């Protein structure tokens, strides 16, 4: 069975053969999972060069909720990203030069 780690390793090895790849668990619809992710990253990586806030969810069921009771679009697309960036800001600042990217794409 192919795992997400196998897929990411294969993709990144083709793009950057010498890069270091770490795959961590994160459920953006659960603030406890987001906080655990931030804690793991903050304690294992002193400096972070970039965060790409590109995860998102779209569900036509506007009554869908996160594990914490937030409307799913707001919880995943905004609150989770904010907690990640806010929780890792010290690690970003330690890199000297950092990038935070989040975008809105309209087709």
**Residue 3 lies inside a defined structural domain of this protein:** no
Give the count of domains, the chain. 1
Q: Which domain holds residue 36?
A: 28-102
In a domain, 20, yes or no: no
92 in a structural domain: yes
**Could you tell me if residue 6 is inside a domain?**
no
Would 96 be classed as within a structural domain? yes
Q: Say how far apart CA 36 and CA 55 lie, in whole Å.
A: 17
In a domain, 18, yes or no: no
Is residue 80 one of the residues assigned to a domain? yes
Cα–Cα distance between 48 and 34 in angstroms, integer?
Answer: 17
Q: Is the pLDDT of residue 21 over 50?
A: yes
d(CA 78, CA 100): 14
pLDDT digits (tens, 9 = 90+) for 47-57: 888 888 887 88
Which pLDDT band holds residue 17 (cuts at 50, 70, 90)? confident
99-102/50-53 β-pairing: parallel
Confidence band, pLDDT 50/70/90 cuts, at residue 10 = confident
């Amino acid at each position: 069975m192919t795992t997400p780690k196998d897929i990411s390793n294969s993709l990144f090895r083709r793009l950057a053969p010498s890069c270091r790849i770490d795959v961590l668990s994160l459920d953006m619809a659960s603030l406890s999972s987001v906080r655990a992710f931030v804690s793991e990253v903050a304690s294992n990586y002193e400096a972070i060069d970039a965060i790409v806030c590109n995860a998102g969810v779209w569900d036509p069921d506007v009554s869908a909720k996160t594990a914490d009771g937030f409307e799913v679009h707001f919880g995943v697309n905004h609150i989770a990203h904010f907690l990640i960036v806010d929780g890792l800001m010290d690690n970003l600042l330690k890199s000297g030069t950092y990038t935070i990217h989040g975008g809105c794409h309209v087709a």
